[in-house]
Amino acid sequence: MTSDPNMPAPSFIQRAKDFADRLWNADDQTLRWMLGVLVIVLACFNFVRDLNNPNHAFWDESYYLTTTQRYEEGKAQYASHPPLGFMFMDAGVKAGKLLGINKNIDTHFLGDVKKIDSRVVPKGYDFTPIRMPSALFAVISALLFYLIILRLNGEAFEAFVFSLLFVFENAYIVHFRAAHLDSYQFTFTLGSILVWLYTFGREPKRPLLTYAAFGLLCGLSFMVKVNSLVMLLLGTLSLGRALWIDHSRPNWLRQFWRGTSVAGAFLAVVALLFTLHVVFNPNAPDTSTKAGARDNNAMGQVYRDYLAHKRGLSPAVVWDATVGYYKYMKYDFTGEVKTEPNGSQPVLWPFMAKAITYRWDFDGKKTAYTHMVGNPVNWGLGIVGIVGAAVLISRRRFDRKETADAEARAMDFDRLEALFAMFMFFWVFHIYLGIHRVMYIYHYFIGLALSYLLVTLCFRIVARQVPLVAKHRFGILCGLSILIAVSYLFYAPLTYHQSMTKAECNLRNIPVTLVVCQPAKKKPVPLPVKPSAELNKS
Q: Residue 89: pLDDT band by 50, 70, 90 thresholds?
A: very high
pLDDT of residue 185: 95
**Concatenated DSSP letters of 147-170:** HHHHHHH--HHHHHHHHHHHHT-H
Mean pLDDT confidence for 125-150: 95
pLDDT-derived band at 522 (thresholds 50, 70, 90) equals: low
Note the pLDDT of residue 396. Answer: 75
Strand ranges inside 225-312, DSSP E:
none
pLDDT, one tens digit per residue, over 280-293 is 999 999 999 998 99
**pLDDT over threshold 80, residue 140:** yes
Task: State residue 449's pLDDT score.
Answer: 95
Percent above pLDDT 70 for the chain: 88
The answer to whether residues 463 and 334 touch, using CB atoms and an 8 Å cutoff, is no
DSSP-derived pairing of the beta strands 499-500 and 356-362: unpaired
Q: 502, exposed or middle or buried, with CB in 10 Å at 0-12, 13-18, 19+? A: middle
pLDDT surpassing 90 at residue 94: yes
Helix (H) or strand (E) holding 88: helix 84-98
State the sign of the Cα–Cα–Cα–Cα dihedral 122, 127, 131, 133: negative
Q: What average pLDDT does this structure show over 208-228?
A: 93
Q: What pLDDT does 392 receive? A: 92
Closest CA to 33 of 44, 23, 18, 43: 23
Question: pLDDT by residue (tens digit) across 430-440?
Answer: 898 888 788 88
* Cβ contacts of 329 within 8 Å, gap of 6 or more: 78, 79, 80, 81, 82, 226
Cα–Cα dist 450/386, whole Å: 9
On whether the CB atoms of residues 265 and 215 are closer than 8 A, the answer is yes
Nearest Cα residue to 135 out of 191, 89, 68, 84: 89
pLDDT digits over 163-209, tens only? 999 999 999 999 999 999 999 999 999 999 999 998 887 777 888 99
The residue-averaged pLDDT of 261-288 equals 94
Q: According to the model, what pLDDT value does residue 401 have?
A: 62
Three-class secondary structure assignment of 270-286: HHHHHHHHHHHCCECCC
- Output the CA angle 44-48-54, nearest 5 degrees: 150
Query: Is it the case that residue 135 has pLDDT exceeding 70?
Result: yes
**Residues above pLDDT 90, as percent of the chain:** 54
Return the pLDDT at 334: 56
Cα dihedral: 98, 100, 106, 112 (round 10)? -40
How many residues make up the chain in this entry?
A: 538
Spatial CA neighbour of 378 closest among 261, 313, 471, 456: 456
Examine the pLDDT at 532 and tell me if it is beyond 50: no
Does the structure show a pLDDT above 50 at 530?
Answer: no
Cα separation, 346 vs 338, in Å, equals: 12
**Cα angle value 487/489/495 (rounded, 5°):** 105
Contact (CB, 8 A) for 108 and 69: yes
Q: Half-sphere exposure of residue 375, counting CA atoms within 13 Å on the CB side? A: 30
pTM of the model: 0.88
Q: Residue 405: its pLDDT value, please?
A: 61
326-363 confidence digits (pLDDT tens): 988 887 655 455 567 888 888 999 998 888 889 889 88
**Phi then psi dihedrals of residue 168, to 5 deg:** -110, 30
Nearest in space to 422 (alpha carbons), one of 450, 442, 441: 450
Instruction: Summarize pLDDT for 370-392 with one digit per residue, the tens.
Output: 998 999 999 999 999 999 999 99
What is the Cα–Cα distance from 267 to 251, expressed in whole angstroms?
Answer: 24
> Tell me: the pLDDT tens digits for 484-507?
999 999 999 999 999 999 999 999
At residue 33, does pLDDT exceed 60? Answer: yes
pLDDT the model gives residue 243:
82
Q: Is residue 91 within 8 Å of residue 133, measured between CB atoms?
A: yes
